[in-house]
Structure 1
Amino acid sequence: MHEVNHDILLNRFPNVNIVKLTGGYTNTTLLLEGTDPQMIAKIYHVENTDARTEISALRLLNHSGVTPRVHDCFEKENWLFVMMDYVPGINAQRLLDQDGRDQGRKIYEQLGIYLARDVHTIKRGDCEAELPVITKSANDVEELEFVPSGIKSMVKEVLDISDHGEQTLIHGDYGPHNVMLSNDSMFILDWEWAGWGNPLFDIAWVVWFVHLHYPHMAKDLSEVFLNAYTERTNIDVTNDLIRAYSTSKVIQIMHRIKNAHPDVHREWLRRLEWTLQASFNKS
């Protein structure tokens, strides 16, 4: 597969050097050294619906300055190639792991500002973009055979919370792990899980992620994030809403991994139980 992809790209861009990328990029991502502007190729199987979602979201944001610009998409031999700007920089999670709290506060403030200002201002009613509609539904958990019935009942109880608000563009997996810091700018990558939905999906996921992975800094960093976000919007964010939307997100991921190894099921079941019991420091 790799040799075929290299040959396809070299046929189109004969004078480039191709380098495989990791860190901040998912899927097969190749850097094309020698293009101007410097580009990467993200490569998916043509039947990958997440790829179509990412292309739609990136095209919606093509002139926003907060995502890589898409230059071209083409299909060849059952592969879909998405040509976009290369964003040099460092993955924000890596920086968080290295530098800790002070750097973390800056990152989480930026996460709040960019999400409120550049992503959630794009309303479903104003756009024609073809993106999945993502909803908070208690029914989704019923189909998961590896979730015990007692946990299913708890999920339904947590999700039974009234909320409202118009559907906006949501990233679907927003957080430091999908952000690249470059000079003083921040670029949001990996839009495969994007869609139209309640902004609380993204807000809750940032808070959930920091509580799960950085518990010693979670109260501080989630407060910085929420303050930066809520200063720019009128969305009401409560502990119950954070729990409900992060629970819903975990269920969505469990659907994606339902055919995975039982160890993966166990880990996500552990995370689900943790989510149902966690306190996210919001009154």
Structure 2
Amino acid sequence: MVTTYRKGEHGQTIVEKKNAASIERLYEDMGRYLASDIHVITYQPGSTNLANPGTGQVDFVPKHLLVLAQQRMKLLQEHQKEWVLTHGDFGIHNVLYTDDHQLTVLDWEWASWAHPLTDVSWVCWFTAFHYPKQAPRWNQTFLQAYQQHRTLRITENTLQAYAVANVWKILQKVQQAPRHVQQEWVRRLEWTLAHSFSYD
């Protein structure tokens, strides 16, 4: 493993300072960078396998939420020809950002070959969940910047479907975690299923 020092301020620190102009630039540059620097790396048959954990069973999720989640995830567009390199946890919580627009992406342990909406939806989910009042503006800025650099069909329903799938992957990862952790992610699943991902 090789590590190096990278300049920049943590994305969440920038958001917490509540400098509107800086936050807008951050979301715009995240959209640009994700589209033009990460998602341009497309899957080629025979590429090193980066396992996508899928959407398997999670026993502690209430049945009514399981049924709803399965219905939403039917919209997933998982065709290898559409796969790109995805970060798996992309967002303001995993970037460093400088005043001259340099972006460094941190924590790549969840990287996988997957549909680009895996990352796009997670930015929108994280922002909406943690910053609900500001999310419509910030997510719209992010989505517009992304689509200026990469063509991608994004709808309210597909954003939600991929957000649900991302939460489901975390639910799978916390199956051996303490009960309060499991229940918190069940709560987040329920929130995700009820949330509107409309940013027109």
State if a TM-score over 0.5 links the two structures.
yes
Structure 2 residue 173 is matched with structure 1 residue 256: yes
Q: How far, CA to CA, are the matches of 1:88 and 1:282 in structure 2? A: 32
Query: What TM-score does the superposition give when structure 2 sets the normalisation length?
Result: 0.92
> After the TM superposition, which residues 27-42 of structure 1 pair with which residues of structure 2 at under 5 Å, given as runs?
none
Q: Secondary structure at the match of 1:156?
A: helix
**Structure 2: stretches of 5+ with no match in the other structure:** none
**Structure 1: stretches of 5+ with no match in the other structure:** 1-81
* Structure with higher helix content: 2
Q: How far, CA to CA, are the matches of 2:84 and 2:5 in structure 1? A: 27
Q: Secondary structure at the match of 1:124?
A: coil
- Note the C-alpha offset of 1:172: 0.1
Number of equivalent positions: 197
Q: Secondary structure at the match of 1:145?
A: coil
Partner of 2:21: 102
Q: How far, CA to CA, are the matches of 2:157 and 2:96 in structure 1? A: 30
- Pairwise CA RMSD: 1.7
Structure number with the bigger relative contact order (C-alpha 8 A, sep ≥ 6) is 2
- Note the C-alpha offset of 1:145: 1.5
Q: How far, CA to CA, are the matches of 2:66 and 2:52 in structure 1? A: 23
Q: State which structure, 1 or 2, has the greater radius of gyration over its C-alpha atoms.
A: 1
- Note the C-alpha offset of 1:93: 1.0
* Structure with higher strand content: 1
Partner of 2:114: 197
> After the TM superposition, which residues 58-207 of structure 1 pair with which residues of structure 2 at under 5 Å, given as runs?
82-125=1-44, 128-133=47-52, 135=54, 137=55, 140=56, 143-161=57-75, 163=77, 166-184=82-100, 185-207=102-124
Q: How far, CA to CA, are the matches of 1:95 and 1:196 in structure 2? A: 30
Percent of residue pairs identical: 34
Query: What TM-score does the superposition give when structure 1 sets the normalisation length?
Result: 0.66
Q: Secondary structure at the match of 1:83?
A: coil
Residue type of the partner of 1:157? Answer: Q
Runs of 4+ in 1 over 4 A off after TM superposition: none
Q: How far, CA to CA, are the matches of 1:127 and 1:118 in structure 2? A: 22
